Amino acid sequence: MPSIDLTGHTALVTGGSGELGRVLCRNLAACGAAIAVHYHAGRERAEAVVAEIVAEGGRALAVAADITDANSVLAMRDTIKQGLGPVSILVPNAVIQYQWTSVLEQDVADYESQFRSCVVQAVLLAKAFVPDMRARGWGRIVATNTECTMQCWPGQSAYVAGKGGMDRLLRVLAKEVGSDGITVNQVAPGWMISDKYRGEGAIDDSGYIERTPLPLGHRGEDQDIANAVCFLASDLARFITGAYLPVCGGNVMPAV
């Protein structure tokens, strides 16, 4: 039976200490990859993820970087290469958080931050890590997008502007690096249940489900996103590139 085996690969997950990032790290490690857990300010959380992976027999390290700064990204690349080897699986997952409001009320700085943490991050990561993938003749880029890119609900403008720009950039990149054995895909989560919501006890998601409504009738979990990322990072998905894959219970459905 086909299985997901990432042994011999090093994966970088940006925002690896966050709600979704830590689950991505754990699952990629469970598939055999060595894991670079990126963080910006959450050092203790990142080190906790590393400790979990190492306790399970995996290899991991925590690495700090400003993913919107070229020199910081290059320094991160060198640290990972020295500690774990060249990155062949890249998961751009980090994003700057901000308060959502209407277009007329949203600060212009919020649009700039979303552009930098979505588009600029993807550009800088590609410049830093694709050359090693090319040298190996194998690489996987699996970015975290969002169902919001297709929803465009009121209040989402800065977020969807950044993620929408990232989507188009990565589609171009997929065409530019495909002949080098590198695939470039995106997973678009819905409003998933993560540790944050589990810790709050009962989750009132009736409004979300009623407004959608979700064809599957319930919200997904962070594990569902990790499953999709691990699949796209593996050779099971070797002929898939340029894809925007919603993992949202059918909330949004790309059409042809």
Enzyme catalytic residues: 159
Identify the residue whose tokens are 């991991």.
60
Alpha helices in 56-179 (DSSP H): 70-83, 108-115, 121-136, 148-151, 157-177
Query: Rounded to an integer, what distance in angstroms lies between the CA atom of residue 28 and that of residue 255?
Result: 30
What residues form DSSP beta bridges with 185? 142
Three-state DSSP class for residue 73: helix
First-last CA distance in the chain: 32
13-38 as b/e: b if 16+ CB within 10 A: bbbbbbebbbbbbbbbbbbbbbbbbb
